[in-house]
């Protein structure tokens, strides 16, 4: 059985292929079209997934779409009858619904001359999220949580997964949403782009939670785990908030009302400096989110008695809250997969359909390397195509086919303070660069954040960089010892170790770690082991290989990013490209 899973007509459009219950390939459309969070129909991702599976459109048995326009219909009708939102809001929803019903026709347009013979099966948005976490987790029984902005008229759903079955026990319906709460505060703080919430999360440790009285006016918690927005402070429920949602990067206008500025004061404009009051508000919003989140997951545990939990939905990207679960609740094991946001709904939809057809469980997602890969010939072709530019940049190109020698030379360059572009193997699935499309640096250098921001990233100075650490060394460096392969949890770095790795230690002494093992990524593990042999430190600083763009996908994009920035070294497969003209002092 071949199932094509899709997240379409939504931010982070994506596709995956599942064959007989095993994931074969998965990728986000943004990586092919080079537009962040691309929203629309993921035509290029679909083409690549089918090619990777060696399949044609006619071979697909089911297309699983992570949206069901018929879900929660009574709740929709009741809300419209009681609230009477403006007509523009209703028309927007009807237009989106019509687009999603035409997915099968769009497929045939992508593959002219081919015929789709299978069935298109919609999967309710939060069921797709829950499936994306539970059905690929190592747990046979677990509390399953989905929290995001909105999907199919709900913003949260939770229940219990057991075997192949997921029973949803509770939901939170429109207009109440933790995702909308956090996104509105993000906009108010002067971060308007879709997906900017991580900036607020990074800013929060610099502040104090002195705005909790105001936060509690925005969000009310209920004893059963649910939550309610004070809708006086928001716009999304009563009027059409202008947005761009098709064939491009999603763009939202303000989700908050004028009353929020009356409560908190004038909003920060994008070009204005970040002040202490903004840091304090970021911290207060994070604390309020955590209170709501823990209220929800504790209520879910109380009704189930289980101590394993899986998380999904866009809010599951809040790695700070995720990292506190084992410390602050009775849960003992936490699984957050590589793409908990909407992109991951493609996998959830596919596995939900697989189990709906009677398929058994067996696949566990223990790594994120499900995207395109490129062989030595492709890497060499990219270098040859830009030979004049490579020469003009003062670069030396060496072929080092021996993996140990390559890791040793790269680790030496890292230890010398150089900034390394590391392009290897299959591209990561999800928002994090996890050692195949990464920029790698020395975590010991206190000035490395400034170096990276000056040379490549050009981003806000308050944002942290993450450590990739060998799995067997976590306990020596972090206060909690857990396997976190997808960089989705933040733990406290041991106090006596913080001075040794200032480049990956955040203002509150934390680090958003990625555990690395030889089993799932032998080449990246070899690099970190070589760095440990050189320095005694079993980790490197890891950030995404990009410059204000989607993470690079192809060798050509990696080389282009290297050449237009001040990166020192590019390791492109087995090719070591060293910019000798910009030696770091």
Question: What is the model's pLDDT at position 510?
Answer: 97
Rounded to 5 degrees, φ, ψ at 350 are -65, -45
**CB-based burial label for 291 (10 Å; 0-12, 13-18, 19+):** middle
Q: Average pLDDT, stretch 82-88? A: 60
- Gap between the Cα atoms of 449 and 455, Å rounded: 10
Q: Average pLDDT, stretch 397-412? A: 98
Q: Average pLDDT, stretch 158-170? A: 98
Q: How confident is the model at residue 585 (pLDDT cuts 50, 70, 90)?
A: very low
Q: Give the distance, in angstroms, between the CA of residue 190 and the centroid of all CA atoms in the same chain.
A: 21
Q: Average pLDDT, stretch 278-301? A: 98
CATH classification of 376-582, choosing from 1.10.530.10, 3.60.15.10, 3.40.50.2000, 3.90.870.20? 3.90.870.20
490 and 504 Cβ atoms separated by less than 8 Å: no
User: Over the chain, what is the mean pLDDT?
Assistant: 93
Indicate the DSSP class of residue 453: I
Q: Average pLDDT, stretch 27-32? A: 98
pLDDT: which is higher, 471 or 74: 471
What angle is formed at CA 363 by the lines to CA 362 and CA 368, rounded to 5 degrees? 165
Domain 137-239+247-336 sits in CATH at: 3.30.420.40
518-567 per-position pLDDT tens digit? 999 999 999 999 999 999 999 999 999 999 899 999 999 999 999 999 99
Instruction: Please determine, for residue 229, whether its predicted confidence score (pLDDT) is greater than 80.
Output: yes
Rounded to 5 degrees, φ, ψ at 253 are -85, 180
339-384 per-position pLDDT tens digit? 999 999 999 999 999 999 999 999 999 999 999 999 999 999 999 9
Place of tokens 């989607």: 550
Question: What is the model's pLDDT at position 225?
Answer: 97
Q: What stretches of 459-521 show up as alpha helix (H) in DSSP?
A: 474-477
Domain 2-126 part of CATH 3.30.420.40 = yes
Measuring CA to CA, which residue among 279, 293, 181 is closest to residue 233?
181
Question: What is the model's pLDDT at position 584?
Answer: 40
Work out the percent of the chain whose per-residue pLDDT is above 70: 95
> Helices then strands (H, E): number in the chain?
21, 24
Contacts of residue 53, defined as CB under 8 A and 6 or more positions apart, other chains included, come to 2, 17, 19, 24, 25
297-326 per-position pLDDT tens digit? 999 999 899 999 999 999 999 999 999 999
Question: What is the model's pLDDT at position 88?
Answer: 53
Q: How confident is the model at residue 102 (pLDDT cuts 50, 70, 90)?
A: confident
Question: What is the model's pLDDT at position 105?
Answer: 85
197-206 per-position pLDDT tens digit? 999 999 999 9
Q: How many CB atoms lie within 10 A of CB 183?
A: 23
Question: What is the model's pLDDT at position 548?
Answer: 87
Domain locations along the chain: 2-126, 137-239+247-336, 376-582
Topology match between the domains 2-126 and 376-582:
no
Q: Is the pTM of this model over 0.85?
A: yes
């Amino acid at each position: 059985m071949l199932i094509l899973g899709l997240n379409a007509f939504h931010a982070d459009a994506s596709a995956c292929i599942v064959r007989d219950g095993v994931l074969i390939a998965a990728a986000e459309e943004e990586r092919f079209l080079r537009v962040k969070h691309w929203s629309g129909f993921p035509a290029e991702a679909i083409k690549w997934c089918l090619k990777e599976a060696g399949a044609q459109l006619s071979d697909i048995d089911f297309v699983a779409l992570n949206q069901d326009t018929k879900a929660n219909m009574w709740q929709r009708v009741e809300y419209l009858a009681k609230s009477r939102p403006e007509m523009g809001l209703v028309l927007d929803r009807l237009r989106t619904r019509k687009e999603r019903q035409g997915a099968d026709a769009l497929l045939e347009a992508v593959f002219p001359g081919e015929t789709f013979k299978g069935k298109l099966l919609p999967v309710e948005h939060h069921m797709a999220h829950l499936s994306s976490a539970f059905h690929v987790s190592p747990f046979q029984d677990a509390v399953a949580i989905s929290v995001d902005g909105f999907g199919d008229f709900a913003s949260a759903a939770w229940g219990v997964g057991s075997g192949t079955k997921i029973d949803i026990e509770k939901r939170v319906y429109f207009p109440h949403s933790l995702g909308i709460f956090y996104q509105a505060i993000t906009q108010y703080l002067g971060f308007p782009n879709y997906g900017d919430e991580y900036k607020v999360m990074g800013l929060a440790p610099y502040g104090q939670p002195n705005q909790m009285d105001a936060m509690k006016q925005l969000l009310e918690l209920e004893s059963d785990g649910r939550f309610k927005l004070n809708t006086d402070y928001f716009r999304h429920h009563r009027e059409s908030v202008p947005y761009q949602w098709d064939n491009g990067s999603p763009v939202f206008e303000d989700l908050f009302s004028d009353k929020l500025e009356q409560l908190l004061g004038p909003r920060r404009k994008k070009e204005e400096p970040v002040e202490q009051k903004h840091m304090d508000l970021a911290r207060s919003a994070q604390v309020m989110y955590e209170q709501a989140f823990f209220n929800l997951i504790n209520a879910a545990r109380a009704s189930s008695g289980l101590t394993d939990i899986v998380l999904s939905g866009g809010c599951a990207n809040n790695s700070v809250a995720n990292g506190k679960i084992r410390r602050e609740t009775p849960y003992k094991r936490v699984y957050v997969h590589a793409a908990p946001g909407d992109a991951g709904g493609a996998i959830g939809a596919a596995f939900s359909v697989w189990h709906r057809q009677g398929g058994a469980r067996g696949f566990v997602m223990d790594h994120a390397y499900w995207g395109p890969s490129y062989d030595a010939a492709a890497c060499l072709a990219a270098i040859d195509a830009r030979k004049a530019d490579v020469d003009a940049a003062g670069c030396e190109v060496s072929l080092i086919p021996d993996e140990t020698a390559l890791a040793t030379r790269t680790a030496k360059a890292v230890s010398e303070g150089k900034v390394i572009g590391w392009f290897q193997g299959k591209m990561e699935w999800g928002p994090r660069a996890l050692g195949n499309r990464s920029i790698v640096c020395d975590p010991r250098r206190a000035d490395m954040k400034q170096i990276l921001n000056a040379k490549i990233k050009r981003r806000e100075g308050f944002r942290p960089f993450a450590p990739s650490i060998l799995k067997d060394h976590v306990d020596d460096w972090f206060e909690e010892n857990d396997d976190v392969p997808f960089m989705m949890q933040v733990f406290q770095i041991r106090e006596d170790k913080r001075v040794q790795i200032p480049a990956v230690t955040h203002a509150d002494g934390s680090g958003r770690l990625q555990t690395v093992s030889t089993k799932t990524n032998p080449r990246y593990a070899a690099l970190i082991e070589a760095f440990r042999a050189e320095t005694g430190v079993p980790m490197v600083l890891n950030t995404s290989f990009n410059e204000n763009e989607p993470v690079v996908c192809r060798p050509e994009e990696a080389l282009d990013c290297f050449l237009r920035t001040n990166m020192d070294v590019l390791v492109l497969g087995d090719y070591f490209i060293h910019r000798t003209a910009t030696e770091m002092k």
